[in-house]
Structure 1
Amino acid sequence: MAARIDLTLDCADTPLLAAFWKTALGYVDEPPPAPFATRAEWLAQVDPDGGEFEDDAAWLCDPDGVGPRLSLLTVPEPKTAKNRLHLDIRVPGHGGAEERWARIRAEAGRLVAAGGVVLAEFEGHHVVMADPEGNEFCVAAAAA
């Protein structure tokens, strides 16, 4: 059996990046761990003094349970170099090269409207982008 993975992204503004990545991936806020009914109830247990962790972390998940969980954690230091690991957002659908490229560019446009930035385009293949804090990712077509 293969191991499951979670991805963790360090950031400066957790609510900002959580909103961006929910839009980018179609993810939702992960429900709190059992037996807690709400994330606030869980936070009250792990942070009894209150406020230390508020807005410092977010847990996102694929609503279909297929993709890995994405955790976002506030850290004090800024991003200083290129990511050693990045996400590839794969645009679904079939068709010819021109149709796939049009879908890739449309998805990149949607993500720019959500706060992303286009860094480079490799015409016909993929678009290199950055989220609102500069974390690189690519938009490409799903494997046929």
Structure 2
Amino acid sequence: MATPWTITVDCADARLLAEFWSAALGYAPAPPPTGFETWEAWMIHHEVPADEWGDVAAISDPDGAGPRISFLRVDEPRTVKNRLHPDLQVSGGRHLPAELRGERLAAEARRLCALGARVVEEHRSPGSPHVDHLWMADPEGNDFCIV
């Protein structure tokens, strides 16, 4: 049996990253835990100080297929390249013409940049003028790729 899992992202601004990744992935704010009407009720029950309520945010796949993602405010800034990063599969796959995949990547890059991301580097297929994938950074500089 597989172990249930989630992803937690350390960050400076939990709400900012939750909003970015929610829009990027088509996720929604995560519902409060079972037995609680709101996250506020959960935090009060667990005696979380009110000044820490903005230190965490969570999003989830509305269809239940993808993992839940939590964002946790930490004091330390990101200092090195992520060793683990998400690849957003937006081009349709290598079975499609490279030109079409490149157009889809460019459109998604524009959308994500409008949300606060930035392109770090374009990677082209060997011997091709077309972009194969893009290395990007979210609003806090965390690495991800669109492929």
Same-fold call, TM cutoff 0.5: yes
**Which runs of at least 4 in structure 1 moved beyond 6 Å after TM superposition?**
none
Indicate the residue corresponding to 1:114 in structure 2: 115
> Is 1:139 paired with 2:146?
yes
Q: Give the gaps of 5 or more residues in structure 1.
A: none
Q: How many residues align?
A: 139
Cα RMSD (Å) of the superposition?
A: 1.4
Indicate the residue corresponding to 2:127 in structure 1: none
Contact in 2 for aligned 1:127/1:139 (Cα 8 Å):
yes
The CA distance in 2 between the partners of 1:87 and 1:93, in whole Å, is 16
Indicate the residue corresponding to 1:5 in structure 2: 5
Q: Give the gaps of 5 or more residues in structure 2.
A: 125-130
Amino acid aligned to 2:7: L
Percentage of pairs with the same residue? 49
Tell me whether 23-32 or 85-94 shows the greater mean CA deviation: 85-94
Contact in 2 for aligned 1:112/1:118 (Cα 8 Å):
yes
Q: CA deviation at 1:90?
A: 0.8
Contact in 1 for aligned 2:91/2:105 (Cα 8 Å):
no
Contact in 2 for aligned 1:43/1:53 (Cα 8 Å):
no
Indicate the residue corresponding to 2:73 in structure 1: 74
The CA distance in 1 between the partners of 2:57 and 2:91, in whole Å, is 27
The CA distance in 2 between the partners of 1:122 and 1:102, in whole Å, is 14
Q: CA deviation at 1:52?
A: 3.6
Query: 1:54-65 counterparts in 2 under 5 A?
Result: 54-65=53-64
- TM-score scaled by structure 1? 0.90
Indicate the residue corresponding to 1:44 in structure 2: 44
Contact in 1 for aligned 2:91/2:102 (Cα 8 Å):
no
Query: Per the alignment, in what secondary structure is the counterpart of residue 21 of structure 1?
Result: helix
Tell me whether 50-59 or 26-35 shows the greater mean CA deviation: 50-59
Contact in 2 for aligned 1:60/1:70 (Cα 8 Å):
yes
Q: CA deviation at 1:98?
A: 1.0
Amino acid aligned to 1:119: V
The CA distance in 1 between the partners of 2:92 and 2:85, in whole Å, is 22
Query: Per the alignment, in what secondary structure is the counterpart of residue 53 of structure 1?
Result: helix
